[in-house]
Structure 1
Amino acid sequence: MRTQEFQYLDLVADVLDRGDERIDRTGVGTRSLFGAMTRFDLSKGQVPILTTKRVYWKPAVKEMLWFLTGDTNIQSLLREDVRIWSDWPLATYRRETGEQIDQLTFEQRIVEDDAFAARWGDLGPVYGKQWRRWLGSDGSEHDQIATLVDTLKTNPASRRMLFHGWNVAELGQMALPPCHMVYQYHVTSDGRLNCLLFQRSVDLLLGAPFNFVGATALQLMLAQQAGLTPGELVWVAGDAHLYLNHLDQAREQLSREPRAFPTMRLIRHADSIDDYRIGDFVVEGYDPHPAIKADVAV
């Protein structure tokens, strides 16, 4: 039986077989294809947490919750033991100070020293800032998430239910321009909430599995807030790539047989989109193959 996970595995295999190989911004090099789509049905409770390798779903959900706060400093993430954003500010610190500090020491200083965190832990106006405090040309701030929740409740037939992070005027200030750029939502006549996520650039081995989980968690929260049920998560990629130092790991993952997706549910009805916590999410039936380690390209 071909499970939903084969959509992802087929894409990885396609990139390995016929991807265009070139040097990228990081210098590591990629093999990539332009344009891809997967569709995951969330309506029966199953969610796209990949089983052909262990995906640490809690950090992915914590990252999404962090985005929703509007915070852009990694201190709060590190205090939740989420280390996925450390590479970029660490590289900046090493480059600007000349100190070849190790990552663990850098992260510890961020956690313990507020002044150090304020100077070196901020990522610039990345996702959360754009989602919750987009700055208009007149100086006014726009909370895209609050507007989305309100529209889902009051005008679910709208075709304008979306938010995005590609603020051209502020791209140069960001540690990393947004990869998962645009989230658009659609409500069916029978009350199902669908999401289309457009991702301009995606590291298929490390990034996509996290993005699937984060987008799913957000869809569940939005559905609950608007009194809807989850429908489809449609994921669309622009540049879908494997880094050249991930090819062996990708082949290892492809050699494994997918298992049934687990379920994810919310065990508490939060008062607002700002009130969710990691303990509100329960994943059941997750039986993955072992984790596959790979380096992040910075």
Structure 2
Amino acid sequence: MMSHPEEQYLNLLRKLISEGDERIDRTGVGTRAIFGYTMRFELAAGFPLFTTKRIYWKTAFKELLWMLSGGRNIRDLLEQNVRIWTDWPLQKYRNTTGESISQEEFERRILGDEDFAARWGDLGPVYGHQWRRWRTYEGKEIDQVQQLVDGLKNNPTSRRLLFEGWNVAQLDEMALPPCHKTYQFFVCRSTNTLSGALMQRSADAYLGLGWNIANLALLTHLLAVHCGYEPGEIVWFGCDVHLYLNHIPQAQLQIERKPRPFPSLQIKRKASDLFDYRIEDFEMQGYDPHPHIPAEVAV
């Protein structure tokens, strides 16, 4: 009998707890880390939205749609009640001004003051900016995702069906350098399927990884729809994969839970192009996870 595909993830948590190299990280919280881990998920077998704790998929999908839009300001996210990127500009504001402002007040000012948002809500040239507006030294902007779509339609056997977020020249301008950095896609001509892979340089195994897997799956589905393929599989490669020390109790609780069947993704509307989707266009059918297990993000 084949094991549930989510067991790949639970085995990763077990490995991190029992074998991870304990180290002090950039945040000062500390982690247990391993180098190199791979997971594969067949999309025909269900959408890989982990079930051993609830993942708020709508929030995750909103983040991906924001990235696909080329967004770089948290105001766009806050307007959708997505607060996952606030910590970094809030920390910068506090350090720069010395003002002991609450997160709620900071977000209120971002939403209510356009000039304040432009100055303090900007994250720099992060993910989506690089995906859609990679700037060359000559000042030209390259839309990597549109180039990918064109390649999938017109040159499906190319080995250059990819896009990249690690722009060395602009890393210092980013609130956070890209963790999920390189995406590549593969068309199988005999099955007319599209598969997607993600190389992730740094993976927060407890809080972030479930989102990364779900968003890779969503992106692969959307590209398949718009380029004339069926979804194939996704492959995730983690390099520095780590579990924060203050997340170990939550991970220990999670690995005791038994995975439930994966849900299925329904795309209710085919948009005019890849960049015209809204969260209302998606429905997750049959998602019955175990309860959420909260944990604090390390900044």
TM-score bucket (shorter structure):
over 0.9
Query: What's the % identity of the aligned pairs?
Result: 56
**Residue of structure 2 equivalent to 1:234:** 235
- Aligned counterpart, 2:261: 260
Letter in 2 for 1:192: T
Deviations 1:91-110 (A, max 9, x none): 10111011111111111111
Q: Which runs of 4+ in 1 moved over 3 A?
A: none
Deviation (angstroms), 1:265: 2.2
Distance between the aligned counterparts of 2:23 and 2:89, measured in 1?
26
Whole-angstrom distance in 2 between the partners of 1:193 and 1:43: 11
- The residue that corresponds to 1:3 in the other structure is 4
Partner deviation per Cα, 1:12-44 (whole Å, 9 max, x = no partner): 100100000010000000000000000011024
Tell me the TM-score normalized by structure 2.
Answer: 0.98
Q: Name the residue aligned to 1:68.
A: 68
Counterparts of 1:203 and 1:5 in 2: how far apart (Å)? 17
Superimposed CA distance per residue, residues 87-142 of structure 1 (whole angstroms, 9 cap, x where no aligned partner): 00011011101111111111111111111111100000000110000011221110
Report the Cα offset of residue 220 of structure 1.
1.0
Counterpart of 2:146 in structure 1: which amino acid? A
| Number of residue pairs matched by the alignment | 297
Q: How much is the aligned-residue C-alpha RMSD, in angstroms? A: 0.8
> Which runs of no fewer than 5 residues in structure 1 stay unpaired?
none
Q: State yes or no: 1:222 paired with 2:239.
A: no
CA apart distance, 1:2: 2.0
Letter in 1 for 2:244: Y
CA distance in 2, matches of 1:101, 1:84: 17
Counterpart of 1:152?
152
2:178 pairs with 1:204:
no
Task: Give the distance between the partners of 1:285 and 1:252, measured in 2 at CA.
Answer: 23
Alignment gaps of 5+ in structure 2 = none
Task: Tell me the SS of whatever aligns to 1:26.
Answer: coil
What pairs with 1:243-258 in structure 2 (closer than 5 Å)?
243-258=244-259
Alignment of 1:1-298 (within 5 A): 2-44=3-45, 46-189=46-189, 190-298=191-299
SS of aligned partner of 1:240: strand
CA apart distance, 1:216: 1.2
Question: What is the TM-score of this pair, normalised by structure 1?
Answer: 0.98
SS in 2 for 1:43: helix
